[in-house]
Structure 1
């Protein structure tokens, strides 16, 4: 006999069903305030587990269709309201549900946890597996953090032959210098019609996306969108991990399925042996379902604000200058820094960051990292680097400094001072990548050493901002003191996150930037802990708009640090184009400001002034949107906007970049303002620049903009609903 129960948390209602001969399945998801009512007629187990000696009930390479997943039975469930999120920002409490399951045959027990913050209808979930067998070990090979089916609006039929074919998948390719290349594919291009129902079995294929090593977004991203415009549904799901992960979707006979996981044996050489009574918890995953793409992105934006670290900088993101990009390039000296510091203060910068090379006396900063003692040749005065840091403070700015805490250069003296156990090793040898050894944060020696470095830099120099970079990845993991290579890597990743948590507890006012060769680690495990996220190392200002516009798919707009690096030889239009690339995110500036003429200097200052007036006060509550859709890498016109959250009366801000545009007429979709009269005002650049004609079509919710063709130019507009 089937039983059901309903759990309500944070405005989300979840229905579960189970029976003596059936596993627990999620059968409904509702968000009454958003008029979302989804039924999952295709019941799938809420957790799937592969273990040595117990594989799939359908021969396949999936992380679903597992025998243990099918055999787990309901034991109990417990609700626990008023759970304090680890880093609540927009609300004080979350709701929690724990469902306990058991498989008597193997002795495996699992607790599947769901949490929902009060400010976002996005569900966070993970599984904790325990070996309840009193005699035998259990070796896990994969455990899902989430598993479920696509579903359909209540009253629709998910078994209709056309339903699966109406879904599209939006995912992204990533690489150094070309992050965030999103593309959308109809599922029928991935999964052809094969009439599998004639066999009586589900298909064996799957579309799997995998990341290895510790560059969690080095090639792909742990987030995707499923949308069905016929059904009026859109999923966003993500794996929240700063290391190896895998997500997959596929077609079952009755519906599609989604499975999200951290490292697994097949993809990452991960296994975990549980002694009797021992437990393992998966990395978190999260999902939301909305009526369309825009509402789904609003949900995940609210979720990101709900679960990130509390910090005064979150809602009022400071303007940052960093001396590296297209400027000093890792060759800082007192003589180079002092003129830049003065110029940065004059244009309104609030944080000044000394990037890499500040510690290097050899002239080759890359392999010498690790001791983190200031160079005496670069900063030769009696006070050394303190002269530069004091100059930053005297100009009213927060001093920042670059650090790469997860590596030790092969030429660093610290390489011989720390034991091998402090590093990621394989076959008794330290892993070496591009002249760096990679620290293993499972090691107490590693953590103690890096704590001493941070304490010294903060205590002696008064640094208030760290750019934490990470330019190499150790591959599959370590074989030292672990059940498997993948297990060692997972525990290292978790230990690094715990170290960051300890750092912010000791120094709660520190502003932390996450950089991994630009955007190679844009996962939510990192993003929830950092105030600033580097989006790329891209040095060509003409290419950057596609990266900058796409970045808020993975992060909050107030975190998105896309470089603007105007130079003295640039025209006014080129300078403004650069500034607009960073304008609707975290204002992130570089370039030789001290070499600019008076007019260009004033233009940069005007950009920062406009940012502080129009963007800084509202960006921490705005919702990102894409009035032309997500940009393609070669798009000749790119647009990105910030719209008010539901119920807010603030203006909508839109930046348009014309990159040798072929068509002069651009139609920007502002569906949230449809049916309302509106006033359109250019906010940057304005004085001395040719205006771009605009026309608002209230009935369509479309802003028509006339852009110049065959040239490079950009404008940012404010659209205010009357």
Structure 2
């Protein structure tokens, strides 16, 4: 349990986690100001850190800029604002007045109000048990009788990074089928904003950053990181000044979208969590993974099943007989969850029609889904379905009945992507219809798993019948969360995978309501090494769906060995996505063998500690290692992507082992000293040629 203490004399709060400390205080004019973030300090030690307000040295610069706990628009500070409001009379500046605070069960709430206008502000802090993560959020309440307050920007938190000689930022970038590509680069001076204006988390960036002084490595160095738990439009802004200060502010929303607070309304922002670690990027990642497993994922102790998905085998050409044949083949391989993808509902013979009509296509399934679901359950597997509840085809029963249910403006074209329009889940009637449709589907057929897809961003994001149309950007995402929450409550056995054209909706907000996420539509194993490397900087393998698909790959048309494809996918939540009816018997036999191996190592992969030994490159060797939580077992994956020039095999140094212990290779029986594996490493024994791979299982003696 975190310790949170208030010192009335200095009007400061100190939050102490197991290994870190965080402090804030009130200035003379009641504004919340940042004090400290870093290694743990006692209250007495903090006294040496508490700053004094600095006097101005000119008329252009406030020496206290960049130290605000939540940088607000107003006064003579011109730092990037985290909070911008416009009151009913047009006034924009905020002036703080401290009210009170409370400390309860690892949570701190500090309450303020504006000195004149009817606005209350609460800054929230919480340390989940057993972590060094500090969750922060903001609540805004209109507590007056008159006029709306426009919310121009309401970030969840401003994180102030200690002054260092230089700064480097780590983040991911990408696009569809090329998500989560890790970049590490100097932090530019001025303001740099990462974000999504698409209504979803997005393929092009992801809402987290890591900051260091430019000297951190995988194993060494201080890293300051922050991750936003939000699945809609978002922005994270770094601000670096010529004085050496650096802040990170982030939250939901986007420029130009200005929702309103009406009298009595409260707006609660999503969590923007921060984490300080001293142990390099690897320690930061392992801390985020532990946080996700203990405090984010709904069923953290579960092992995710090996699944089969029918998409590559059938496309839209779905029939009951075809699905039965695939199910029998999948069960014989050892698959535990059979998922029927697109094409089972409405007039769904292609992407042009049927979305929104969530009733079984009786031409394809004359008896409904009961016979197929019964067959799958009888084969010892659970049954899952692909759905895309937020979308509708103009060629559908739903759209013809309710054309007003989509995002639109009265005098603007309704842009289509993938022949789809976006339903407005901010409308209670639309959200109610979506829940009722999915609830009936899951309940009637005994569905165990939903692959919840979302295949296009917002456009023409209007709501003509509502006086505050901009609120739909937040309320749509909240409605998605609410439907997932209600479905899970009504059907405790239901499990959900989040998908958005691949990895377009991956964040801690959606992970709190789903059991796994679809990492990318690109299943090419070479590309997946890069995608999974970026994903794993913050998010855990326990939620990372990874499939073995047909050769050549349908996205890249690259050919790779079945062994390589399996080993890459086995570093996450293993799935099979190929047309297994057409696989030769030797491939089926190998698949059975590898699925059995995965089930044996799955507890270590899904619940162990990740150590990135060698990062993936376009050629050369990469390696990663998982160590069980109790330290008794380890699994090492080694990959050779390509070999341009012949070189002798080099040892791979391991990590996370006990130097004084000995470890046995479960396949060869060879025994090594932990100290030797850490200091020198082991020769992995990669097969010759490109796209070679090996899985090494170690047991502590």
TM-score tier, shorter chain, comes to 0.7 to 0.9
2:642 to 660, 664, 668: 660
Q: CA deviation digits over 1:160-202, x for unaligned, max 9? A: xxx241x321110121111110011133xx23xxxxxxxxxxx
Query: What is the distance in 1 between the residues matched to 2:170 and 2:134?
Result: 20
**SS of corresponding position for 2:614:** coil
Are 2:440 and 1:446 aligned?
A: no
Q: Pairwise mapping of residues 291-690 of structure 1 onto structure 2 (< 5 A)?
A: 291=278, 292-311=280-299, 314-325=301-312, 327-361=313-347, 363-379=349-365, 382-418=366-402, 420=404, 422-427=405-410, 432-475=416-459, 477-480=461-464, 486-566=470-550, 574-615=561-602, 617-629=603-615, 631-632=616-617, 634-645=618-629, 648-662=630-644, 664-666=648-650, 668-673=652-657, 675-676=659-660, 678-679=662-663, 681=665
**Contact 2:604 2:634 survives alignment (8 Å):** no
1:112 corresponds, among 93, 115, 123, to: 123
- Change in CA separation of 1:110 and 1:3 when aligned onto 2, cut-off 3 Å: same
Paired residues, what number?
Answer: 658
Structure 1 602/122 Cα, relative in aligned 2: closer, same or farther at 3 Å? same
Residue 21 (structure 1) aligned with residue 32 (structure 2): no
After TM superposition, the structure 1 stretch with the greater mean CA deviation from structure 2, 479-488 or 98-107, is 479-488
What is the SS of the residue equivalent to 1:390? helix
Q: Secondary structure at the match of 1:208?
A: strand
CA contact (8 A) 2:352 2:395 kept: no
Partner of residue 258, structure 1: 248
* Cα shift at 1:400: 0.9
Deviations 1:336-391 (A, max 9, x none): 22221111111111100110011254632443221122223333xx5254332222
1:201: which partner in 2? none
Contact 1:407–1:436 (CA under 8 A) maintained in structure 2: yes
Cα distance, 1:406–1:125 mapped onto 2, change above 3 Å: same
Of stretches 436-445 and 571-580 in structure 1, the one that deviates more from structure 2 is: 571-580
Instruction: Note closer, same or farther for the CA distance 1:431–1:245 as it changes in structure 2 (3 Å cut).
Output: same
How far did residue 445 of structure 1 move? 2.2
Match 1:6 to one of 14, 27, 31: 14
Cα distance in 1 for partners of 2:678, 2:416 equals 60
Q: CA deviation at 1:670?
A: 3.2
User: Which of 105-114 and 477-486 deviates more?
Assistant: 477-486
Q: In the aligned structure 2, how far is the partner of 1:340 from the partner of 1:375?
A: 19
Q: Is the Cα–Cα contact under 8 Å of residues 71 and 79 in structure 2 kept in the other structure?
A: no
Structure 2 distance, partners of 1:516, 1:658, is 30
Contact 1:656/1:714 (<8 A) preserved: yes
Aligned to 1:171: 171
For residues 678 and 626 of structure 2, the distance between their equivalents in structure 1, rounded to whole angstroms, comes to 21
For residues 426 and 492 of structure 1, the distance between their equivalents in structure 2, rounded to whole angstroms, comes to: 16
Question: Deviations 1:205-234 (Å, cap 9, x if unpaired)?
Answer: 112112112231321110111123479411
1:495-536 deviation line (CA, Å, top 9, x unaligned): 111111111111111011111111111111111111121111
Q: Measure the CA separation in 2 of the matches of 1:244 and 1:183.
A: 21
Given that 1:677 and 1:698 are in contact with CA atoms closer than 8 Å, whether structure 2 keeps it comes out as no
Distance in 1 between residues matched to 2:426 and 2:232, nearest whole Å: 14
**1:198 is matched with which residue?**
none
Deviations along 1:27-84, one digit per CA (max 9) or x if unpaired, are: 23466599xx99696772222344xxxx573457654899988842432211121xxx
Inter-partner Cα distance in structure 1 for 2:660 and 2:462: 59
SS for the counterpart of 2:509 is helix
Whether contact under 8 Å (1:678, 1:698) holds in the other structure is no
Does 2:62 match 1:72? no
Q: Distance in 2 between matches of 1:515 and 1:109?
A: 37
Q: Distance in 2 between matches of 1:140 and 1:571?
A: 49
- Deviation of 1:13 after TM superposition, in Å, equals 4.5
Deviations 1:661-704 (A, max 9, x none): 34554554534237445536376xx99xxx9x999844536445
Contact 1:10–1:117 (CA under 8 A) maintained in structure 2: no
Q: How far apart, in 1, do the equivalents of 2:352 and 2:511 lie? A: 26
SS of structure 1 residue aligned to 2:327: helix
Moved more, 354-363 or 526-535: 354-363
Q: Can you list the C-alpha shifts for 1:520-567, whole angstroms capped at 9, x where unaligned? A: 111111111111211111143443332234332343211110111256
Question: Is residue 666–residue 706 contact of structure 1 (8 Å, CA) maintained in 2?
Answer: no
CA distance in 1, matches of 2:83, 2:238: 10
- Find the counterpart in structure 1 of residue 88 from structure 2: none
Work out whether residues 108 and 129 of structure 1, in 8 Å CA contact, stay in contact via their aligned partners in 2. Answer: yes
1:121 to 126, 129, 132: 132
Aligned-pair distance for 1:580? Answer: 1.1
Q: 1:664 to 1:356 in 2, by over 3 A?
A: farther
Name the SS for the 2:287 alignment partner.
Answer: helix
Q: SS state of the match for residue 44, structure 1? A: coil
Instruction: Give CA deviations for 1:295-351 in whole Å, capped at 9, x if unaligned.
Output: 21122112112333533x8521111110113x2223222232222111111111110
**Worse-superposed segment, 567-576 or 386-395:** 567-576
- Is contact 2:659-2:673 (8 Å) kept? no
Structure 2 counterpart of 1:219, from 204, 207, 213: 204
1:412 shift after superposition: 1.0
Secondary structure at the counterpart of residue 156 of structure 2: strand
CA contact (8 A) 1:170 1:225 kept: yes
Shift of 1:598: 3.1
Contact 1:273 1:483 in 2 (8 A): no
Aligned partners of 2:491, 2:680: CA distance in 1, in Å?
Answer: 46
Q: Distance in 1 between matches of 2:31 and 2:318?
A: 61
Aligned equivalents of 2:203, 2:83: Cα separation in 1: 25
- TM-score, structure 1 normalization: 0.83
**Unaligned runs of at least 5 residues, structure 2:** 1-8, 52-63, 86-90
2:56 matched to which residue of 1? none
Distance 1:297 1:509 in 2: 30
Corresponding position of 1:206: 191
Give the distance between the partners of 2:458 and 2:637, measured in 1 at CA: 38
Is the 8 Å Cα contact of residues 159 and 274 (structure 2) preserved in structure 1?
A: no
